[in-house]
Amino acid sequence: MQGTKIDLLINCRWIIPVVPNNQILENCALAIDAERIIGIYPQAEAAKRFDARKIEQLNDHIVMPGLVNAHGHAAMSLLRGYADDLPLRPWLENHIWPAESRHVSEEFVRDGTMLAMAEMIASGTTCFADMYFYHEQIAEAVRHAGMRCQIGFPVLDFATAYGRDADDYIHKGLALNDKYGDQPLLKIACAPHAPYSVSDSAMEKIALYANELDMPIHIHCHETASEIHESLEQYDCRPLQRLRDLGLLLPQTQLVHMTQVDASDISLLQDHNCHVIHCPESNMKLASGQCPVTDLMAVGINVAIGTDGAASNNDLDLFGELKTAALLAKHASQDASALDAHAALRMATINGAAALGWDNEIGSLEAGKSADIIAVKMDSIAMQPLYNPASQLVYCNAGSQVSHSWVAGKPLLNEGQLQTMNHQSLIQAATEWRNKIAN
């Protein structure tokens, strides 16, 4: 009797489905058809049940959901290493923003976004949240690469190469939503840059549109101690309280960094069901502070993880970010069991999907969900011996071992080779930009 015809069957050594929690399956197969996951089966059963058009035999691999990088500025990959070893505000105001005013253009955004996506795909990320200018270039680059992306249109009070003022940025962002809001692999988010760079009137408009259009809000918040101090002086309240008063704390609000958090902030986050995006390596490099991840998770606040941009990280390897997050949580709490390997993996999968409002589609290997999947090869010297696959993923440089990647069933990486982008042309474009910016 012939089995049910499906598109793809992935036989692998281990599967970490993420949901249910803390589960590792051995010698199973993942069945995929019409861009969606059919289910997970013992390999012998799958061989009888299905007639697959293609079979991937991944005998030394862990298969798991694709990673969700919940915060970044992809185009800023072209500024990787440009202004290192500086605090946040001097780094931004004296180096990054002047460089952007000279060089940011449609071509800069297109080339930088492509470079970033290639790096993310090669290290296991299948979905990312972006926040940058020239949004249509980002959208077209994402569609070309085949990734999944939340595109946040930034809003600032001051002029840049892309916009005149807050109203101009909002107008362009709403036009972006009209054009791309119905694309299955794209979401559009309002992305006010930060409380200190956006006025009350602009914030109120953003809250209005976010409510009317059920649009996510993505904002840097409580990133440094000076941000808190300046808000108290100017507004007589902490930034999070100001956002609450202006209507920006919503169930779809994504608060990035949150390194300066007290009990009142935690209460506001709980009351409004907001999400926190932890960016440990960027926070550490810019000496901004530390997000109290374990305290937030202990009271049920959803915490996802992001790399931030390559200009302040300096890489987009989310597995590396997980290792940093886990070690930092243990160090800060003086508890070696804090943020264990499975909890860290959830931050980069189902938690990230929930923060972006995509947890019904991605973040776990459940029947009916989109086939956004990665495979990590575990046969290298640095991975031996292997006692606990989840632990190895978090603590042993797994990003360099990613071999395969699919988004909605479409292969983006096969045996370590990019399938939708040209490696050499990316290197050439990056070199040309370096020569322009350095001079």
pLDDT tens for 354-392 read: 999 999 999 999 999 999 999 999 999 999 999 999 999
Q: Where are the domains of the chain?
A: 4-65+370-408, 67-355
Give the CATH class of 67-355. alpha beta
pLDDT tens-digit readout, 11-38: 999 999 999 999 999 999 999 999 999 9
C-alpha angle with apex 370: 369 to 375, nearest 5 degrees? Answer: 105
Alpha-carbon torsion (334, 22, 123, 61), positive or negative? positive
**Alpha-helical runs (H) found in 300-398:** 318-333, 341-347, 350-355, 389-395
Pick the CATH number of 4-65+370-408 from 3.90.1150.170, 2.40.30.330, 2.30.40.10, 1.20.210.10: 2.30.40.10
Contact call for residues 408 and 370 (beta carbons, < 8 A): yes
DSSP for 170-227?
HHHHHHHHHHHTT-TTEEEEEEE--GGGS-HHHHHHHHHHHHHHT--EEEEES-SHHH
Beta-carbon contacts of 57 under 8 Å, excluding residues fewer than 6 positions away, are 11
Pairing type for strands 217-221 and 50-65 reads unpaired
pLDDT of residue 1: 55
Helix (H, G, I), strand (E, B) or coil at 217: strand
Pairing of strands 67-72, 303-305: unpaired
Q: How many CA atoms lie within 13 A of 153 on its CB side?
A: 30
86's enclosing H/E stretch is none
Is 0.75 surpassed by the pTM of this model?
Answer: yes
CA-nearest of 92, 182, 187 to 131 is 187
- Give the per-residue pLDDT at 97: 86
Say which amino acid occupies 386: L
Return the H-helix or E-strand segment holding 33: strand 25-33
Could you give phi then psi for residue 337, rounded to 5 degrees?
Answer: -90, -5
Q: Find out whether 185 and 141 touch, Cβ atoms under 8 Å.
A: no
Query: What gap in Å lies between CA 386 and CA 22, rounded to an integer?
Result: 17
Q: 3-class DSSP state for residue 105?
A: coil
Helix (H, G, I), strand (E, B) or coil at 424: helix
- The maximal CA–CA distance of the chain, rounded, in angstroms, is 76
The length of the chain is: 439
Residues of the chain with pLDDT under 50: none
Residue 89: predicted pLDDT: 83
Cβ proximity of 124 and 66 under 8 Å: yes
Distance CA 77, CA 91 (A): 15
Q: Which two tokens stand for residue 48?
A: 């009888």
Among candidates 327, 330, 323, 328, which has minimal Cα distance to 390? 323
How far apart are alpha carbons 288 and 256 in whole angstroms?
12
The dihedral through the CA atoms of 41, 44, 48, 53 has a sign that is positive
- Looking at residue 66, what is its pLDDT? 98
Structure tokens belonging to residue 398: 């797994």
> Which residues neighbour 245 within 8 Å (Cβ) at sequence distance 6 or greater?
237
DSSP 8-state code for residue 82: S
The per-residue pLDDT for 122 is 98
